[in-house]
């Protein structure tokens, strides 16, 4: 089994998300004690690297101030005065959750892998009530939902099914050798690791505006990566939170539950928002990218649909179309 075969097969099973881009400069910071692991799943994700984490922290993070908190699993960065990126660089997904603090309450956009206790971090950042809203309900975005009292979610069957929780075998792959370089948190038990059930207190719909006090977040349904993928637009501050619909890495249209056609429509829609935002806030690897990537995203899907995208590689029966800064994996077409 090739490196990529193993990787993609696992993603079919997990229904999970993102991956590193390969253009980073290795800094070595923060990983001095990491051992070189002879793993077959994630080796060779960057040139001349012994392990994928050798490139961490990714250079883009240097634009933001790291917040010193009492927690060993999460790295927290201040994106602006009221937005914190809660990053999990210790695990291969490099998933990022975002705490957005309003005058009245806070909203956390995703809750991570569920390996560390994200509530511990959030409680150090705000004393306000916190509402959970997921960018979508893949396992690496809902792991800490159960730690919070108030959860908003879509009314889709897909979301409801994920809210019921999943047994350990559904998420065990996240812990496999080579996927984690940080020590697991104190008290964490791999045997008990599962996707825990959570209760949706309020359903959200396209166009809903969530006023957290001093900031309004509008929901944009963007199915494709997952059936319940959403983005949030903060029109006043010209920010778009993309979830997994865009990040600087391979975009997945090929997972169980994914839809290329839906994704293409969502990409076109996000491209139409490019001139209404300055930045996009993304949920894996790198926290903030320029709004121009939304235009590029729309063009990428349009080019794939029309047959004009010619730069692709094939593995495991899927095509990976390469664009500047990201790629798109499409099922089949081999």
Q: Considering beta carbons, is residue 17 or 125 the nearer one to Zn ion?
A: 17
Give the residue closest to Zn ion by C-beta: 17
Name the minimum Å distance from CB 47 to Zn ion. Answer: 26
Distance from C-alpha of 95 to C-alpha of 110, rounded to nearest angstrom: 9
Stretch that binds Zn ion, among 57-65, 136-144, 210-218, 257-265 (CB under 5 A): 136-144
Contact 165, 131 (CB under 8 A): no
Name the minimum Å distance from CB 18 to Zn ion. Answer: 7
Name the minimum Å distance from CB 14 to Zn ion. Answer: 9
Contacts of 220 (CB under 8 A, 6+ apart): 206, 207, 230, 231, 232, 233, 269, 270, 273
Name the minimum Å distance from CB 185 to Zn ion. Answer: 23
Contacts of 32 (CB under 8 A, 6+ apart): none
Distance from C-alpha of 241 to C-alpha of 275, rounded to nearest angstrom: 15
Whole-angstrom CA distances from 150 to 4, 87, 106, 205, 262 are 38, 22, 11, 17, 29
Asked if residue 244 binds Zn ion (CB under 5 A), the reply is yes
Name the minimum Å distance from CB 183 to Zn ion. Answer: 26
Of residues 45, 58, 138, 146, which one binds Zn ion by CB under 5 A? 138
Q: Considering beta carbons, is residue 18 or 31 the nearer one to Zn ion?
A: 18
Stretch that binds Zn ion, among 34-42, 130-138, 179-187, 310-318 (CB under 5 A): 130-138
Stretch that binds Zn ion, among 34-42, 185-193, 238-246, 271-279 (CB under 5 A): 238-246
Size of the site for Zn ion (CB under 5 A): 3
Site string for Zn ion, 13-42 (x = CB under 5 A): ----x-------------------------
Q: Considering beta carbons, is residue 31 or 251 the nearer one to Zn ion?
A: 251
Write 67-72 long-range contacts (CB < 8 A, 24+): 67/125, 69/121, 69/124, 69/125, 70/120, 70/124, 71/116, 71/117, 71/120, 71/121, 71/124, 72/116, 72/182, 72/183, 72/185
Q: Which residues bind Zn ion (CB under 5 A)?
A: 17, 138, 244
């Amino acid at each position: 089994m090739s490196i990529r075969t193993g990787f993609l097969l696992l993603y079919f099973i997990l229904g999970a998300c993102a991956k590193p881009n390969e253009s980073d400069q290795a800094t070595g910071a923060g990983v001095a004690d990491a051992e070189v692991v002879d793993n077959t799943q994630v080796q060779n994700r960057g040139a001349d690297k012994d392990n994928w984490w050798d490139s961490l922290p990714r250079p883009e993070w240097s634009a933001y101030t790291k917040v010193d908190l009492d927690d060993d699993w999460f790295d927290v960065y201040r994106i602006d005065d009221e937005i914190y990126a809660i990053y999990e660089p210790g695990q291969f997904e490099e998933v990022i959750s975002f705490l957005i603090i309003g005058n009245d309450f806070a909203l956390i956009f995703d809750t991570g892998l569920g390996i560390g206790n994200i509530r511990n971090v959030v409680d150090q950042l705000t004393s306000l009530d916190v509402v959970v809203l997921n960018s979508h309900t893949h396992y690496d975005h809902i792991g800490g939902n159960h730690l919070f009292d108030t959860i908003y979610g879509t009314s889709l069957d897909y979301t409801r099914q994920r809210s019921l929780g999943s047994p350990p075998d559904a998420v065990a792959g996240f812990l496999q050798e080579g996927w984690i370089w940080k020590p697991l948190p104190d008290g964490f038990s791999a045997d008990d690791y599962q996707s825990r059930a959570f209760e949706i207190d309020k359903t959200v719909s396209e166009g809903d505006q969530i006023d957290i006090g001093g900031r309004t977040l509008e929901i944009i349904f963007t199915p494709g990566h997952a059936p319940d993928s959403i983005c949030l637009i903060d029109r006043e501050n010209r920010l778009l939170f993309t979830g997994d619909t865009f990040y600087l890495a391979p975009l997945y249209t090929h997972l169980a539950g994914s839809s290329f056609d839906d994704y293409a429509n969502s990409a076109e829609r996000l491209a139409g928002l490019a001139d209404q935002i300055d930045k996009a806030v993304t949920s894996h690897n790198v926290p903030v990218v320029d709004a121009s990537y939304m235009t590029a995203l729309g063009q990428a899907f349009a080019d794939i649909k029309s047959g004009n995208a010619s730069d692709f590689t094939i593995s495991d029966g899927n095509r990976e179309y390469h664009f500047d800064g990201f790629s798109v994996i499409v099922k089949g077409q081999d």
